[in-house]
Amino acid sequence: MGASHTRTEPNEFQDLMDKTGFSVEQIKNLRKRFLQLSGNEETISRENLDSIPALANNPLKKEIINAIFDKRNQHESEVGSFQEIGFEQFLMVMSHFRPPTLKTTPEEKEALRKEKLRFLFNMHDTDNDGTITLDEYRKVVEDLLSKSGAIEPATAKGIADAAMLEVASTNVPHMAPDEFYEGITFEHFEQILKGLEMETRMHIRFLDVGTATMRCGRSTS
Amino acid sequence: MELFFNPFDNLVCILLGISFTVWFTLLLVFIIVPAILGVSFGIRRLYMKTLLKIFEWATLRIERGAKENNHLLYKPYSNAIIAKEPTSLEQEIKEIRRSGSNRDLDSASEFEMSDIFYFARRGVASIMDDEVTKRFSAEELESWNLLTRSNNNFHYISLRLTVLWGLGLLIRYGFLLPLRVTLAFTGVGLLVFLTCVIGLLPNGRMKNLLSKKVHLMCYRICVRALTAIITYHDSENKPKNGGICVANHTSPIDVIILASDSCYAMVGQIHGGLMGVIQRSMVKACPHIWFERSEVKDRHLVAKRLSDHVEDKTKLPILIFPEGTCINNTSVMMFKKGSFEIGATVYPVAIKYDPRFGDAFWNSSKFGMVNYLLRMMSSWAIVCSVWYLPPMSREEGEDAVQFANRVKAAIARQGGLVDLLWDGGLKRGKVKETFKEEQQKLYSKMLVGTQEDRSRS
């Protein structure tokens, strides 16, 4: 479905608008961006995303790119990951970062929140077994911390273990010393981040250009 | 029967003959002779003013038409898709943590799960929009210059406007394009022919003088072939012999624009085909620096040839574009330090194109050279300003990179362009691993630093 787009017409945008919740303006802008990233092709592959310099700076780059190609983030029941994605799938992933508008009802807000949490959970849970194990968690922490020596691997491991222990203690308060903690399930994850204000922290504000002011005559640049 | 047709045929032949003669005479008198002499009738400036008035009228018309029909008006392309948060890493992570737990944390102490948010969000934001990638696509206009190629958002607004556009199309492709192509061929042909002739002369003052005149003349014809209306500022700072002229690069036309005002020695790789013929004939008349493809990689060889050239004070100043690739004329990207290591005086030049008349940026991944030239020749005009900046030299204790950045800042300031630290080579290559580690170091310093505080207290 993704690879057969030619010229998108207004009614096709309507379909995308309903699915992802973006406005026409935002979809058009993202489409321009998509074409720029893909080099005017209809699909984006991982190599296209590798070429963004600001992303290269980000220690979670690998996880983010995996999240974009992750089938779980398409809200269908498939698992695994894509090799390339089309514009619709791109929009679906980006819609996780859409802010709520004034018209969003409390139920919709709750659903949005759950979606964002799910996105983050998927980022940690790389083998898709429904739990974030200690190893998976440690991997993410190590990526965040420097490989260049400011923190030794032992310290990184220590930090990850401590964080994991804290999580375990909040969820399974009376764990016996030899009990094996399986991992963080999605419900635990939600529990931990319950108070966190997702709405303002996990979204990206789209600039809304108002009605045009045409400037005639000499520009001042 | 025959008698009937003959006078008619004759008439047609005579008419054709007359029109060709008139055409060529006009061409000669109004374009080629002034190019040879270096004077100007001012026709192009008049043309430019007329065009501006027409564009203003067209834009007002569109605005009015859109209001009447309640159409969605074309919105100026905002330079960013998303709003960037100006807060620093530490501050934002503290805020995330504060909103998550009710504990009042004074410092970002332990690692928390919510720290992931900051990086995830930043990462996705940079996928949506980033500073560097958008420099490599053409700048979008705010008003319409009657070329559909400059934006595709204009719907049919009124009959008058469509007629105007159609008329414009006719004029551009039917009249201007053939005229310009003729001129281009004339200019290039004359250049090749005359430089070969001059090459036969013995080396000396006469040869240098003649070669300068010939080069200037042919470049002026080429300038008219593009209908380029150039304003030169501060000509007292024109580059002198033994110096290096550096400029920001937007398209291959930059060379023609600069070389039609002053004589330079060009630097470049030898190509095959027509370009190669032109290069080889140019070097007969006066010394240019052309490299074989294999020599380009050898930095020492390149540096040596450049420094040999600047030491010889009889040779012309070298023209170099240190960005290494074409940028879309809204910013200046990193200057490669090679030309700044040589130690000669640097004459910076800023070139700024006026985007209202035609987009001069060469997007080499989108268009080939011939395609690009055809687009240039079928636009209305190319209007640009050239500023000659005062000469700069490397100061004590300054290394080549700092010197290059100083020159870049001066050019960006004069031309009204954004000064960016990024490398133009990112158009094709990747970022180095060292940049990624910076972010990681920052984050881990934050964690480790506070651990130490706690263990001390």
Domain parsing of chain A, residue ranges? 10-99+203-214, 106-192
| β-sheet bridge partners, residue B418 | B331
Q: How confident is the model over B200-218, as a mean pLDDT?
A: 86
Q: Side chain identity at A185, as an amino acid letter?
A: T
Q: Three-state SS string across B269-318, please?
A: ECCCHHHHHHHHHHHHHCCCEEECCCHHHCHHHHHHHHHHHHHCCCCCCE
Instruction: Check A212 against B73: CB less than 8 A apart.
Output: yes
* Cα torsion B166, B170, B176, B177: sign: positive
Per-residue confidence band for B78, with pLDDT thresholds at 50, 70 and 90: very low
Looking at per-residue confidence, does B457 or B56 come out higher?
B56
- pLDDT for residue B179: 83
What is the rounded (10 degree) CA torsion for B77, B79, B81, B82? Answer: -140
Q: Is the pLDDT of residue B19 over 90?
A: no
Interface of A with B in 64-93 (CB under 8 A): 64, 67-68
Q: Side chain identity at A124, as an amino acid letter?
A: H
Picking from A52, A60, A167, the nearest residue to B130 by CB comes out as A52
Q: Is the pLDDT of residue A1 over 60?
A: no
Which residues in chain A touch residue B119, judged by CB atoms under 8 angstroms apart? 58-60, 144
Task: Give the whole-angstrom CA distance, residue A18 versus residue A192.
Answer: 31
Q: Side chain identity at B345, as an amino acid letter?
A: T
Nearest to B133 by CA among A141, A91, A32: A32
A215 in contact with B at a CB cutoff of 8 Å?
A: yes
Which stretches of chain A are assigned E, i.e. beta strand? 44-45, 84-85, 131-132, 184-185
Q: Which helix (H) or strand (E) holds B327?
A: none
Indicate the burial class of B320 (C-beta count within 10 angstroms; 0-12, 13-18, 19 or more). Answer: buried
Looking at per-residue confidence, does B259 or A59 come out higher?
B259
B275 in contact with A at a CB cutoff of 8 Å?
A: no
Q: Is the pLDDT of residue B80 over 70?
A: no
Q: Is the pLDDT of residue A215 over 80?
A: no
Q: Name the DSSP class of B203.
A: S
Which residues in chain B touch residue A52, judged by CB atoms under 8 angstroms apart? 126-127, 130, 132-133
Q: Is the pLDDT of residue B79 over 70?
A: no
Share of chain B above pLDDT 70, in %: 71
CA dist B172 to A69, A119, B161, Å? 47, 53, 16
The residue whose two tokens read 């450049």 is B306
Size of interface A-B (CB pairs under 8 A): 196
Q: Side chain identity at B65, as an amino acid letter?
A: G
Asked whether the beta carbons of A107 and A67 are under 8 A apart, the reply is: no
- pLDDT for residue A61: 79
Q: Is the pLDDT of residue A65 over 60?
A: yes
A221 in contact with B at a CB cutoff of 8 Å?
A: yes
Q: Which residue of A has its CA nearest to B82?
A: A206
- pLDDT for residue B98: 58
| β-sheet bridge partners, residue B386 | B232, B351
Q: How far is B122 from chain A (nearest CA, A)?
A: 8
Q: Which of B440, B441, B445, B455 to mutate: most A Cβ within 10 Å?
A: B440
CA dist B296 to A183, B267, B321, B341, B413, Å? 57, 11, 15, 17, 31
Share of chain A above pLDDT 70, in %: 65
> In CATH, what number does A10-99+203-214 get?
1.10.238.10
A40 in contact with B at a CB cutoff of 8 Å?
A: yes
Q: Three-state SS string across B72-94, please?
A: CCCCCCCCCCECCCCCCHHHHHH
- Give the least confident one: A87-96, B26-35, B167-176, B368-377: B26-35
Instruction: Check B81 against A29: CB less than 8 A apart.
Output: yes
Q: Which helix (H) or strand (E) holds A95?
A: none
Asked whether the beta carbons of B154 and B72 are under 8 A apart, the reply is: no
B114 in contact with A at a CB cutoff of 8 Å?
A: yes
A205 in contact with B at a CB cutoff of 8 Å?
A: yes
A52 in contact with B at a CB cutoff of 8 Å?
A: yes
The residue whose two tokens read 């010394």 is B287
Picking from B73, B110, B430, the nearest residue to A51 by CB comes out as B430
Q: Which residue of A has its CA nearest to B142?
A: A214
Which residues in chain A touch residue B131, judged by CB atoms under 8 angstroms apart? 54
Which residues in chain B touch residue A61, judged by CB atoms under 8 angstroms apart? 123, 436
A164 in contact with B at a CB cutoff of 8 Å?
A: no
Q: Is the pLDDT of residue A110 over 70?
A: yes
What is the rounded (10 degree) CA torsion for A130, A135, A137, A138? Answer: -170
Over chain B, what is the mean pLDDT? 75
Per-residue confidence band for A31, with pLDDT thresholds at 50, 70 and 90: confident
Q: How confident is the model over B34-54, as a mean pLDDT?
A: 79
Instruction: Check B73 against A120: CB less than 8 A apart.
Output: no
Which residues in chain A touch residue B80, judged by CB atoms under 8 angstroms apart? 207
Instruction: Check A193 against B431: CB less than 8 A apart.
Output: no
- pLDDT for residue B347: 92
Task: Give the whole-angstrom CA distance, residue A115 versus residue B441.
Answer: 31
Residues 6+ apart with CB under 8 A from A89: A2, A74, A82
Nearest to B70 by CA among B3, B155, B143: B155
Q: Side chain identity at B357, as an amino acid letter?
A: F
Q: How far is B269 from chain A (nearest CA, A)?
A: 27
Q: Is the pLDDT of residue B183 over 50?
A: yes
> In CATH, what number does A106-192 get?
1.10.238.10
Asked whether the beta carbons of A125 and A136 are under 8 A apart, the reply is: yes
Per-residue confidence band for B105, with pLDDT thresholds at 50, 70 and 90: very low
- pLDDT for residue B75: 42
Task: Give the whole-angstrom CA distance, residue B64 versus residue A206.
Answer: 29
CA dist A64 to A70, A94, B122, B371, B444, Å? 10, 12, 10, 39, 20
Instruction: Check A51 against B133: CB less than 8 A apart.
Output: yes
B63 in contact with A at a CB cutoff of 8 Å?
A: yes
Which residues in chain B touch residue A167, judged by CB atoms under 8 angstroms apart? 113
End-to-end CA distance of chain B: 118
A35 in contact with B at a CB cutoff of 8 Å?
A: no
* Cα torsion A94, A99, A102, A103: sign: positive
Looking at per-residue confidence, does A180 or B304 come out higher?
B304
Instruction: Check B448 against A150: CB less than 8 A apart.
Output: yes
- pLDDT for residue A117: 81
Which residues in chain B touch residue A37, judged by CB atoms under 8 angstroms apart? 127, 133
Q: What is the pLDDT of residues B253-301, one digit of tens each?
A: 888 899 988 889 988 888 777 788 888 888 888 888 888 877 777 778 8
Per-residue confidence band for B349, with pLDDT thresholds at 50, 70 and 90: very high
Over chain A, what is the mean pLDDT? 70
Nearest to B110 by CA among B91, B97, B122, B95: B97
Q: Which helix (H) or strand (E) holds B153?
A: none
Instruction: Check A205 against B74: CB less than 8 A apart.
Output: no
